[in-house]
Chains A and B, each alone.
Chain A
């Protein structure tokens, strides 16, 4: 082993991009196997681009041709020039085939001398782009720490002073490289990490992928399997222009729990993750502008949901019944001469751009069937529409996959939490707290369907059932959400 001969000194530097993982690691081919064939080809081609190829060059035939007798026996003979490798992948793109041949070509052919950490990070992020619902994300809010002090002193001043104030929200400006640098400065003494920043190709997000390891050495002596261990990877997504960010939730499986059980508490991936998460607001802070984290009681699998409910757009603080305002489904431009109640909501939602004719066909049929309904169901339909707004038919769908509700009402006053609260009535004199958990692909959409079918009374149901609060965890008393400060 060549590695053991080199001097190994503990440092605080981050893991280098070019750290190579042996290509024979079985979990590597598993990681790559999650990607589709076109995604793999795109990745390989992007690795061979001029700006990338220096950090992880493919294995090329050594120029001295003496020792290539055993090379010939390998399934993927090494190419002689970079252009040859590029051509090979272009050819692969042009013809059909399975993805296994590409994985094999990558791991056993062109990168047989090792797969770098950066390549692994790029592959992981590509997977996330393709499957935005592959992880569970928690939304956090960044709050200015000394905001209260400044606003107090300002309120004491005259109103003239207020008028000249800047009303833009305190959004930390993130310059990617310097943010990573300061984050590194925060966590380097505790954790060794590898950072990879990338812009999402499908959503207005910037991803930061952090791989953490508990070794002070530049070339850790861990099993190579550890580099693909999902519990050691934290994803942080920064949406544009809003004081929120999303972190991937801790996904500790039982298997990794038992494996880390032998280690001390400090080397537990969960501890390391917590360290990183706590370092983020500190890394974003600057002198006289300190940030702290605030939980926002929202966790969801779909990134689009988080962007809709805790994002830069209009829908962040108007949901449920108020989503008609967020989607501007109520009325159109003031230049439209048609009375707004005669125009379909979908047409308003499409906004000021010239209407796309294809979409209106579907909504038109929905309006047509309206006449065939009985007056009872018509009334219910109207009630459902007034309670749910455009939830479920909005242009920016925000499916919640899980909704945890804790009802704090004393038993007996269950006028609004009707059928669900019956389960725990036995323990009535103990003042039970009733917890409800809804799971599914789209919880709020499902409740809307129930209301449309008449299972749930749309007029009496509390507002948390309509998704108005835009949370996935809530404490409810008297049908209203209590805001509980934690941490």
Chain B
């Protein structure tokens, strides 16, 4: 008990100072090493260096160029690796959705070669979010016999892809998207509905058996991988835009400090810990709270200093779709109209609210 109160040996101030110095120098070293690595790799992948290395003709006989050619031999794997990486990066930046092969390491997977799709989304601060992945596998009947029969029949109506694993957040329904754009063949589809599970393991792709006309039609539907990826990426981008819009509004209200950390809403809590938890707004609108109600950032909740409360729904296009605002007397239609009206862009929300309060005060 006493040890906690008084540290055992009070450290030498000089020692402490030295420790701090060492720590700062270490940090400096690691940042510099990091910078050096980035510089070398960007130098390697720069087109000028590449052309220089390629133009170096091996026929010259001076000793100077001999050292250069050995240098070139040393460098060439590095240069090709850097080049390939840059090419991938360019594709990722430019197209947003890229494909790559992946091998399932599980020994008993029927088809270990997976098709990976990588979706890159650029956030508002210019950084890229962690890439999202979808791994697709070729659908095959689980029972070998049926599979072989099918191969013998030679129905080459293309591969059927289905989603194996993904890292899409749970509020975007990959199952729904896959159901619409990557339909499985008719029999497996009906099996799907029978057992009601999202499983694809128990499905078989046998084309035999009686077939209802509706099923036949659905089996004719082609899988649309492009459409699948397009819609998925659109949803992900819309989500990032929505959450960015909420952050943008919070920044405008001064609810986020410059350091990026969330401002404590109850700063003056320590002064009067028992009082009502209300803080002074940092803006002239009197709004003390604005936050997304969930990770999805579809609904945004607003709170005023005087107890008014509201909630609005953000559309994928960045419009305020619906809004409900309450004051002491009930629904506040004026605010609702201001929030949804005037084009409904979420970015100009506060301008509209300011206009409303100016109108109220002028007459």
Whether, in the assembled complex, A314 has its beta carbon less than 8 Å from a beta carbon of chain B, the answer is yes
Query: Nearest CB to that of B114 among chain A residues?
Result: A322
Rounded to whole Å, the gap between the CB of A167 and the closest CB of chain B is 5
Whether, in the assembled complex, B308 has its beta carbon less than 8 Å from a beta carbon of chain A, the answer is no
Could you jot down 5 A-B contacts, CB within 8 Å?
Answer: A155-B179, A155-B183, A313-B170, A334-B93, A386-B105
User: 16 other contacts beyond A337-B42, A462-B108, with CB at 8 A cut-off?
Assistant: A45-B273, A155-B180, A159-B224, A169-B172, A171-B171, A242-B171, A312-B170, A314-B132, A314-B169, A315-B167, A317-B165, A335-B127, A339-B85, A357-B31, A482-B201, A483-B199
Cα A459 to Cα B106 in complex, Å, equals 8
* A interface list, Cβ under 8 A from B: 45, 48-51, 53, 86, 96, 148, 151-152, 154-156, 159, 162-163, 165, 167-171, 173, 204, 240-244, 311-318, 321-322, 325-326, 328, 331, 333-340, 342, 351-352, 355, 357, 360, 383, 386-387, 416, 459-463, 466, 468, 478-483, 485
Cα A177 to Cα B98 in complex, Å, equals 45
Assuming the A-B contacts A241-B171, A463-B108, A479-B107, are A337 and B130 also in contact, with contact meaning beta carbons closer than 8 angstroms in the complex?
Answer: no
Given the complex, which residues of B lie within 8 Å of A481, measured CB to CB?
201
Contact of B133 among A154, A318, A333 (CB under 8 A): A318
Whether, in the assembled complex, B265 has its beta carbon less than 8 Å from a beta carbon of chain A, the answer is no
* B38-A338 in contact (CB<8A): yes
Residue from the set A165, A325, A481, A485 with the largest chain B CB neighbour count within 10 Å: A325
Cα A165 to Cα B173 in complex, Å, equals 12
Whether, in the assembled complex, B237 has its beta carbon less than 8 Å from a beta carbon of chain A, the answer is no
- For chains A and B in complex, what number of residue pairs have CB atoms within 8 angstroms? 189
Contact of A314 among B42, B130, B299 (CB under 8 A): B130
Cα A252 to Cα B227 in complex, Å, equals 51
* A318-B172 in contact (CB<8A): no
Contact of B120 among A148, A155, A334, A386 (CB under 8 A): A334
Say which one of B68-76, B189-197, B245-253, B327-335 lies at the interface with A.
B189-197
Cα A481 to Cα B200 in complex, Å, equals 11
Cα A321 to Cα B105 in complex, Å, equals 7
* B167-A314 in contact (CB<8A): yes
Assuming the A-B contacts A168-B298, A334-B89, are A463 and B176 also in contact, with contact meaning beta carbons closer than 8 angstroms in the complex?
Answer: no
Given the complex, which residues of A lie within 8 Å of B92, measured CB to CB?
334
Given the complex, which residues of B lie within 8 Å of A168, measured CB to CB?
171-173, 235, 296, 298
* A480-B276 in contact (CB<8A): no
Rounded to whole Å, the gap between the CB of B127 and the closest CB of chain A is 4
* A50-B171 in contact (CB<8A): no
Given the complex, which residues of B lie within 8 Å of A162, measured CB to CB?
180-181
* B177-A167 in contact (CB<8A): yes
Rounded to whole Å, the gap between the CB of A427 and the closest CB of chain B is 24
* B183-A243 in contact (CB<8A): no
Rounded to whole Å, the gap between the CB of B176 and the closest CB of chain A is 6
* B296-A352 in contact (CB<8A): no
Given the complex, which residues of A lie within 8 Å of B295, measured CB to CB?
204, 240-241, 312
Contact of A480 among B108, B168, B294 (CB under 8 A): B108
Given the complex, which residues of A lie within 8 Å of B224, measured CB to CB?
159
Query: Nearest CB to that of A389 among chain B residues?
Result: B105
Contact of A243 among B88, B170, B180, B221 (CB under 8 A): B170
Query: Nearest CB to that of A480 among chain B residues?
Result: B108
Query: Nearest CB to that of A310 among chain B residues?
Result: B170
Whether, in the assembled complex, B206 has its beta carbon less than 8 Å from a beta carbon of chain A, the answer is no
Whether, in the assembled complex, B82 has its beta carbon less than 8 Å from a beta carbon of chain A, the answer is yes
Cα A393 to Cα B5 in complex, Å, equals 36
* A462-B106 in contact (CB<8A): yes
* A316-B128 in contact (CB<8A): no
Given the complex, which residues of B lie within 8 Å of A468, measured CB to CB?
106
Contact of A312 among B93, B169, B218 (CB under 8 A): B169
* A335-B1 in contact (CB<8A): no
Given the complex, which residues of A lie within 8 Å of B197, measured CB to CB?
483, 485
* B30-A148 in contact (CB<8A): no
* A321-B171 in contact (CB<8A): no
* B274-A357 in contact (CB<8A): no
Contact of A240 among B85, B107, B202, B294 (CB under 8 A): B294
